[in-house]
Amino acid sequence: MFNWMKTAILMAGITALFGGVGAAIGGESGMLLALAFAVLSNVFAYWFSDRMVLKMYNAREVDETSAPQFYRMVRELAERAQLPMPRVYLIDEAAPNAFATGRNPEHAAVAATTGILAALSARELRGVMAHELAHVKHRDILISTVSATMAGAISALANFAMFFSGRDGEGRPTNPIASIAVAMLAPFAAMLIQMAISRAREFEADRLGAQIADDPQALASALDKIHRYAQGLPLEAAERHPETAQMMIMNPLSGGGLRGLFSTHPSTEERVARLMDMASTGPRPAARG
């Protein structure tokens, strides 16, 4: 319940920020237009996010004939989680990673790279896919997609702030410093809100995924292995579309001095430590319904 309240507060923060950028651009009318655009963005994200993301990654759908072991694994885990069978996709990328997408459990899809299938044991891969199904069960993918869509839209709106906010009769900015501040700080704040949503949800998906698979150690081992294997193996589609990084089980973006600040995921060490603690005490039964 706390995580849902936190997510609601963060989403409200993104919406308020959207309105604030709109107000900076065009006053009250700009705020109303920005909020209307936010609603349209949310509707578009709700209906088409899964297709958009899968196309970005050139994912190909597989079935029991084309990928029998992987498909059966997902089906068995979906049954354990009491979820409808999701569509299953493979991505021809060497970088090990996986994600889930879709607007609800009835319209969900899970995808994994060929690299993760090669890098992990069957037990570890089972833990990873249980994690992704945990996201589906909690409807995290819709929340993260909507927040990513709005954060990207805020960034685009803020870029217009320097040109359209507070103009005098001769078309010059009446407060250029404020315009620059909005253009720089609004996208920054939107990213922080978006990433806070993602980090909170990753811990919960690790917990529930370990319960679904009934094997916290397998997911802990998988996370550690993905973290080591992924270094030096960039996921090109994620680099082109960084707003999708939060959907992955492991941050796929290349590093830098601010990597910790802008990471969409908690540290691998902390995730592994929590799972190993869970393994030592014994996982509680997965929530039903």
Positions marked active-site: 132
Helices 140-164 and 122-137: angle between axes, nearest 10 degrees = 70
Nearest CA among 113, 126, 24 for reference residue 73: 126
Cα 198 to Cα 26, 244, 248, 269, distances in angstroms:
31, 11, 10, 17
Residue 63 CB coordination number (10 Å) = 10
